[in-house]
Structure 1
Amino acid sequence: MSAAHGSTPFGHWLAGARQAARQPAAQSRQALLAAGQVVGSVAEGFLEQIGASRAIDKRYELSKTEHQGAPAWHLQSPPGGATEALNALAAVLRGAGRCGPWRNEQLAVCNPQGDVVATVERGAVRVLGIATRAVHLVGLAPDGRMWVQKRALTKPNNPGLWDTLMGGMVAAADTLPQALARETWEEAGLRIEALAGVAHGGHVLFSRPSREGGGVGFMVERIDWFRAQVPDGLEPCNQDGEVERFDLLSLDSLREQVAQGAFTLEAGLVIAGFLGA
C-alpha cells in the first residue's frame, strides 16, 4: 500500500482490516486429529467442558493425547470413518448449543498438506478450527462501475452489510470453478458462461477468532476471488433469498463505503485486492 493510499480514509481502513484478518486465537488451542492427521484445533478445556468424550457416538473414541510434544485431541474411527466421526462430533457440539449455524452442508476437511481426508458439517468448522475455502466474484459493468449486493437481514452472518457481487463457501463436492459457477447462479442469477473476461484475480487469507460456539471458534480461510464483466442487458437477480438487493457503485463511491464499514471485512479485502491497494 502506497503512502498516498495510507493517508486516505480507505487506506486507514485497509491497514486495520489487514490486521483484523490475521489475529491470534482468543484462547490457547490444541490440535485436533482425525484419521491420524491434524485437521483443526479446539480451545483448551472446551471439549472437557461440554463432556464431548462421553457424549460422542460409541463407534468413535475422542481422547486426549499428544502431538509433537503438545496436548492434542485424537478422534479415532474405523478405517474410512473419519467423515462419520467428525459429523458425530459436530452433532455433539450442536446438542450442547456450541455450534455455528447448522447448514446441512458438508465442507472438505484437509490435512496440513492440503489433502482431503474427510468432510464435516459447515456449522462445526469454526469451533473445530478446520480450514475452509470460499470464493468471491467481482462483477463489473461495461462502464467500469462495480456490481455489489446487500446481504439479506436474515443471513446468520453480517446481515444487512454490503458484499461483492457473489461470495460463498466452496462445498466438499465442489471444485473451485464449480463453486464459482454454482454460487454465481444462486446468489446473482447469472451464468458464468454469459459473463466476459472471467479470470482469477487473487486470494485473501484469514486466521482470526470467531464468535461461534460461544466465542471458542477460530476462522482459518482462504478466499479466492475472480473478476468478470457483466455485459449490458444482464442484471443480477438473486435466486436463494440471501440477497436483499443489488446496486452499481463507482469505484470512488466504493472506496468511500468500504472505508465507512458498510461492507463485510471479507468483501472489503477482496475489493482492495481488485483495486491494487
Structure 2
Amino acid sequence: MSAALHAWLQAARLRAQQPPAQPRLPLWVAGQVVGSVAHGVLSQISLQRLLDKRYQLSKTEQSGVTGWHLDVPPEAATDALNTLAAALRDANLCGPWRNEQLAVCNAEGERVATVERGAVRALGITTVAVHLVGLAPDGRMWVQKRALTKPNDPGLWDTLMGGMIAATDSLEQALARETWEEAGLHVADLHHVTHGGHVLFSRPSSEAGGTGYMVERIDWFIATVPEGLAPSNQDGEVDEFALRSDSELHAQVAEDRFTLEAALVMAGYWGV
C-alpha cells in the first residue's frame, strides 16, 4: 500500500466517524428512542398534519434527558413518522423524496416502524446498506461510475453495486435486487458469493438543510463475475462500468475519485 493511500485511509476513517455538526436531541417514537434531531429543526415545521391525526409531538424531559417525543401507540408509529416526514418535506427540511420505506429500529435493533427514506438523515435514524465487491476471474475489480443525476456523490466511482436495504427486504434480498437493478446480474450466476464484513458510519449529512446526521451500517459481499458476463445497468443510475487492477484502484482512491463508502468497503476487502 502506498503512503498516499495509507494517509488517505487514515483521514477517511476519521471522516466516517464524526460527531454531529450541531447539538442534537433524541427522538422518541411510541416511547422508544429511534433517532435524533438537530436543535431548532422541529420548531420550524407545521404541526397541523400531526394534529389532524391526533398525533402529539412535543419537546419534553424523560429520565432527565430532554428530547422530542412523538406520542403515539406502537401500531400508529409508522403512520406518525411518515406524517412527520411529510411535514419536514413541506418545510424543505428533508432529503430527496424516494417513496421508499426504510426500517426504523430501537437501540436493541428491533423494528418499531418504517419511514420514508428522504427523512432518515433529518431524523438521525440508523440505516442499513449493502455493497458488492465484484471480481473478474483474473482478480481485477468491477467498479461503476455513478450517474451525474444521482442526488448523492454524482460522478464518483463506486463498488460494483451499493444500495440501501428497504424495509421490505432482508439483507440477501437487497443484495439480489440491487445487483440486478444496478448491474444487471443475477446473484445466482455469480461465483463464490461471500459476506466479507461491515463498515460503520456516523457523520454529519448535508441533507435537511445541512442539519442531517448519517448513521449507517454497510454490509459488504464479495463475488466473482464469471468470464463472459459483464454488468449492464438497469435503473439509469450508473454511467459506466470498468475493470480496474488493485494498483489502479489504490491510486484512484487516494485521488478521491471514489465515494467514501466504497473506498472503505474496498479497504476492508484489501485488509488494510
TM superposition score normalised by structure 1: 0.96
8 Å contact 2:81–2:115 — kept in the other structure? yes
8 Å contact 2:47–2:87 — kept in the other structure? no
Post-superposition Cα deviations, 1:70-117, rounded to whole Å, max 9, x if no partner, equal 210111224400000000000000000110000000000000000000
Compute the displacement of 1:51 (Å). Answer: 3.4
Q: Confirm or deny that 1:40 pairs with 2:38.
A: no
Task: Determine helix, strand or coil for the equivalent of 1:98.
Answer: coil
Task: Determine helix, strand or coil for the equivalent of 2:182.
Answer: helix
Task: Determine helix, strand or coil for the equivalent of 1:236.
Answer: coil
Distance in 1 separating the partners of 2:158 and 2:110: 30
AA matched with 2:110: D
Aligned residue in 2 for 1:26: 21
8 Å contact 1:52–1:89 — kept in the other structure? no
Task: Determine helix, strand or coil for the equivalent of 1:129.
Answer: coil
Distance in 1 separating the partners of 2:223 and 2:62: 45
Aligned residue in 2 for 1:169: 164
Task: Determine helix, strand or coil for the equivalent of 1:81.
Answer: helix
8 Å contact 1:147–1:249 — kept in the other structure? yes
Aligned residue in 2 for 1:193: 188
Aligned residue in 2 for 1:8: 3
Q: Confirm or deny that 1:276 pairs with 2:271.
A: yes
Post-superposition Cα deviations, 1:218-255, rounded to whole Å, max 9, x if no partner, equal 00000000000000000000000000000000000011
- Give the superposed CA RMSD: 1.0
Distance in 2 separating the partners of 1:98 and 1:126: 10
Compute the displacement of 1:213 (Å). Answer: 0.7
Q: Confirm or deny that 1:224 pairs with 2:219.
A: yes
AA matched with 1:262: R
Compute the displacement of 1:68 (Å). Answer: 3.3
State, as a whole percentage, how many aligned pairs show the same letter: 66
Task: Determine helix, strand or coil for the equivalent of 2:148.
Answer: coil
Compute the displacement of 1:56 (Å). Answer: 2.8
Compute the displacement of 1:191 (Å). Answer: 0.2
Structure 1 residues not aligned, in runs of 5+:
none
Q: Confirm or deny that 1:204 pairs with 2:206.
A: no
Q: Confirm or deny that 1:51 pairs with 2:45.
A: yes
Matches within 5 A, 1:68-107: 68-107=63-102
Task: Determine helix, strand or coil for the equivalent of 1:56.
Answer: helix
8 Å contact 1:47–1:53 — kept in the other structure? no
Task: Determine helix, strand or coil for the equivalent of 2:52.
Answer: coil
Aligned residue in 1 for 2:122: 127
Tell me the number of residue pairs that the alignment of Structure 1 and Structure 2 aligns: 271
2:248 pairs with one of 248, 253, 257 = 253
Distance in 2 separating the partners of 1:130 and 1:114: 12
Runs of 4+ in 1 over 4 A off after TM superposition: none
Aligned residue in 1 for 2:146: 151
Structure 2 residues not aligned, in runs of 5+:
none
Compute the displacement of 1:35 (Å). Answer: 1.4
